[in-house]
Structure 1
Amino acid sequence: MPPIPYRRKLPMRLQRIIAATATLGCLATLAACKEGGQSAAPASSASTSAAAAADEGPLAEAQRYLRQFANCDDLSDKPDDPRMPAGDFPKAGQWSVKEVGVCSDKVRQGEIVIAVPGDMKQFQERYKSYVLDRVRGGDGAYGLESRVLVGKGFVAFPTATKTAVALVRSDLRVLTCNPTGLVPEGYKREKPLVEHCILSDFVNSEDGSGSPNLQTPQDPGKGEKAGQPTTGSLGLPRAGSMAELRTLVGSSLDCEKHFSTDPDTVAIESIDYAPVVEGSGLGWGVTGRALCGQPAAGQRARDLSWLDTVGDMKLLQTKAKAAQLADYKDDGKLRQTASRLLVGENIAVETNSPSSRHGLYQLQFLYLNCIPGFSAPSGYRLEKAQVEGCVLTNYEPDHPLG
């Protein structure tokens, strides 16, 4: 056996210098290094995270997107998954669909089928043909309550209407190919990849659980109506100045001791109190604004209400209608922290306090209500507003006058 060559042990300080130099050399050449400063194999051109994302596939990517707007749990691509609905869902290999999966929205008690088409235009063409075949076969209403939600690279089929309503707040759009399908005013209409179909954020449902139809409010100026008077108006309050308005509402609002017309103070709102008029009052037809109540000063704000003198009542009601419908469209109800607009002839009050509104109704103020389908029982006031599709009333279903 040949003698083992003698290797002189380097001093510890010199070993550290060599190791550090090797490490710096790795960093300088942007090559990955193994422990001890030895160069590892070159990194691939794609990043590790991108490769991992690609390995997960389009179903997982679709799931991540859906989860921003609704629950989509326990994703499965097994064809025999018991959650997979039986009808009206394409299988892999149909309508150019390459993959199909299903996940659960337990909060809304439904499932979401996810289909990944290889050719989105071909998918839409096949869906359109399917709908028209059903219509010609005698099912004239088929597809009017479509739950086919087209996304970027995938299609979602939620089984629960409430899930569909949640998902259209994203970039997903309902594909409707029934020739009689309509999209009400206030909803988006986008052009699909096929002719004579519609993409929209309107979820149609006969039971009222879908998106609200903002084009069908009760109009007291047409036909019979409940409430009073039968015709005309019982009259609305007016004031010649902000000082007169403050005096008029003094017993109903916290305006006697806590009142300000300072623009910075009037612009204050809190987590509990949100005004109707936003930004410059002039853009809403308002000529003067004041704040009643106690803004936050070391504690939470209390009893905030806004007083308005109005130069253009029709403009104020038009802007307030748009804001109210936008709030209602979001989830089918108005925010509790949002003020309600009560109007007179040339004045208005914004408050979210039911007890304050009851006092204002006694002064003949009326609430501008633009909620679709609203009507008032006999005995309550229901009068025509200055903007189409709204009414003036003293009836609040959640807070009826006692």
Structure 2
Amino acid sequence: MHVRVHPPDHHPRHRLDRLRQTPASSDSPGASESPLTRAQKYVQKFASCENMSTDPKDPRLPRTEFTTVGKWGVTERGVCTDRTGNGEIVFYITPDMKAFQQGYKDHTAAQLAAGNEGYGLSSRVIVGKDFAVTPTKTKTAVALVASDLRVLSCNVSFFPPDGYHREKALVEGCGLGDFVNSEDGDGSPNYEVPRDPATEGPEKPGQPATGSLGLASAGSLAELRKLVGHSVDCTKMSTEDAAVESIDYKPVVQGDPRAWGVKERAVCGNLAGAQRAHDLNWLDVVSDMRTLQTRAKAAQLADLKDDGRLLATGSKLLVGTNVAVETNSKSVRHGLYQQQFLYLNCERGFSAPAGYRLEQSLVEGCVLTNFER
């Protein structure tokens, strides 16, 4: 029997009245204390934070500078040791939180423009009223959002799963929330992911001994388009041009889609016109999933044969029970994983960490998963 785990009464969605656009932070009695000291005392209620330093040469500071004094409205920066979490917490004091959020938004936009499309999907930028922190460990971030501090996210592709909250930040295009997303499996629990009570435990939670915990399905191309609307921009969709591809976007299915077991197929995105085609994703309604996975396996192994790596511009196949999406966008895949699509991975020796789904595919030598290296 497969069940969904529902959040308990103490889960964040039962205290959303505490979530405000500028969450409470370092305000406390003791006017003589510096803002950094007050911020540290607030954080210490929820996480370990020892040996605070404001030395810009402190070796605990990250080598790649996020931001510093004089930028984004930051007036003071400090770092402390999180002994419990075995990491560090970097503090940014700012009397102008809107300027800080605008700085992070611009920084995110620059990363996205440079091709780092997954930037900010696992944000650990956590803000309060007059300070922000960036813990180096995911578990520390989870502990901190149990307070009135909130994760700042400015990647428009990110949206929290069911049971969590997201509201507008101080700048347009960003959001504040109580969900900590992470690729290391230590983030906030995703209550949208179905769990198998027979396998729940410390080793591989959420992974069934046999069968599947459930996959996405749709009865038609129109239903599939609606289903993936949060993740795939299908404002422009074409069935006639479904075979289109570009130098940057290559589909999995090649040639006659019926030979791949695909009944209906469409492409979403901006097709070539005045400028090169971009943001292409393919939607498939599948009549024979075994055939689709068999053909996709052969294509994937052929791609891996030369250098052991998949083509960066080649799409990955994410499947449901009778539907699939072909995409090379990490942010699109992130959204589809929340909707119970899984990636067909045929790499030899592949395994997924605890907390990620790992299920058998319909073809030997492949697995279905929501984990990507």
What range is the shorter-chain TM-score in?
Answer: 0.3 to 0.5
Q: Which has the higher contact order (CA 8 A, sep 6+)?
A: 2
Task: Using structure 1 for the length normalisation, give the TM-score.
Answer: 0.42
The structure whose Rg is larger is 1
Task: Using structure 2 for the length normalisation, give the TM-score.
Answer: 0.45
